[in-house]
Amino acid sequence: MPIIASEKELSVYENMAARFDVAAAKLGLDEGFQKVLRHPSKEITLYIPVMMDSGSIEVFVGYRVQHSIVRGPGKGGIRFAPDVTLDEIRALASWMTWKCAVVNIPFGGAKGGVVCDPEKLSRRELEAITRRYTAELLDYLGPERDVPAPDLGTNEQVMAWVMDTYSMHVRHTSTAVVTGKPLDLGGSRGRREATGRGCLIVADQALQRLRLNREEQRVIIQGFGNVGSIAAKLMQETGYRIVGVADIHGGIYNPKGIDVPKLINHALEAGQISGFPGCDPVDPMQILFQDCDIAIPAAVENVITSHNADRIKARIIIEAANGPTTALADDILAEKKVFVVPDILANAGGVTVSYFEWVQDRQGYFWSESMVNERLEQMMVASFNDVLGYAERHNVSPRIAAYMLAIDRVAFALRLRGLYA
């Protein structure tokens, strides 16, 4: 593993690139192809003027990065957060390329973001930012070009505004321009639960590989938003014991188990999980290091680093978040024999069902939730087996195997298409 300078360890793009370099070298990938696939195709920076409710004008910075469209249209979310950076969006777009290739769906990778704090903006201000952001990107978006989705700070309503803005400009309703929409506007059943359900599926597969039982597994989840809460609920329903949970406000731990439905209700009423009865309080940044069998980082990047990876007690890590583990932490976890299901596989349930939504919109025919879930499980299980097969054949970790599988598929498409000049 190439050494990343300590000051660069927390750069999400450097972490992605470090894994890419190792996987590409293991594949013996042509140096020229490495250069092509290591860099984004397009990086767009936008300055978005908005009339605020106060009557003043504010200018927000936005980004859209298209990493690769070799295998199909760009695919990736739009995040609204005060700490959005181009480095982060560049890395997330790259991860989307590899994630789509790992689950073998016909998309490339893209990602977008706007530097803003949605909690401090009115609904009208959010809509104005969304519509201007979309309008500025009209030449780059489209069902056959680049298909956004929700991410941190955005939701179904924001996607509805994106879809409507694009549709008004092209003069016809285009539901397939975006996924993660409300059901009544062409959304897919099962989409909201897809990422959490995908985590359950790969957790089950990991247990089969290690010959372990669900009922004996104590699970800790960092992050209790859409992904974390749904993963907790689904896993508890199928026999796992949830012993620790954290959100940005605080963490809770109970070795005997937490009643997840009651915790979800508490979080809805209180706006946070802190104060849930019967649990010990824990610092949210320390929750992953409590005693457990499975740890699921489902919040933000860079929570497991070279400075704390040795404190992990879990035997299995399911990376529900994007980039929760730095490249320098990989070797430490490997020495501890922690079985890591990497992010570009573990959290691919969301983009898989986004693909299903895109297909349904283009067909004008919508599937039952049971059909969505059945097809999701088929694709996630097949992808898990593909990755573990690569790991065994090449004697590498599941993470490097996932990158190798993804890069191999994208490079193969690039080789077939050739370089246009």
Residues annotated catalytic, as ranges: 111
- Contact (CB, 8 A) for 273 and 250: yes
Torsion-angle region of 213 (φ positive above 0: left; ψ -120 to 50: alpha; else: beta):
beta
Spacing of C-alpha 121 from chain mean position:
25
Give me 385's structure tokens: 């087996």
Phi and psi at residue 207, in whole multiples of 5°? -65, -40
CA distance 128 to 238: 43
Report the run of H or E that residue 49 belongs to, with start and end: strand 42-51
Note whether 347 and 341 are within 8 A (CB).
Answer: no
- CB atoms under 10 Å from CB of 72, counted, come to 17
Whole-angstrom distance, CA of residue 260 vs CA of residue 163: 34
Q: For residue 242, give the nearest of 212, 321, 230, 195 by alpha carbon.
A: 230
352: its two tokens: 């898989």
d(CA 67, CA 90) in angstroms, rounded, equals: 7
DSSP string, 22-46: HHHHHHT--HHHHHHHHS-SEEEEE
Residue 159 has which token pair?
């996607």
CA atoms within 13 A of residue 318's CA, in its CB half-sphere: 37
Nearest to 118 by CA among 128, 108, 110, 109: 128
Output the six-digit token pair for 1. 């593993």
Per the structure block, which two tokens stand in for 357?
Answer: 């939504």
Angle (CA) 108 114 115, round 5°? 135
Residues whose CB falls within 8 Å of the CB of residue 164, separated by 6 or more in sequence, listed in order: none
Residue 142 CA, distance from chain mean position: 21
| Strands 280-282 and 294-297, sheet pairing | unpaired
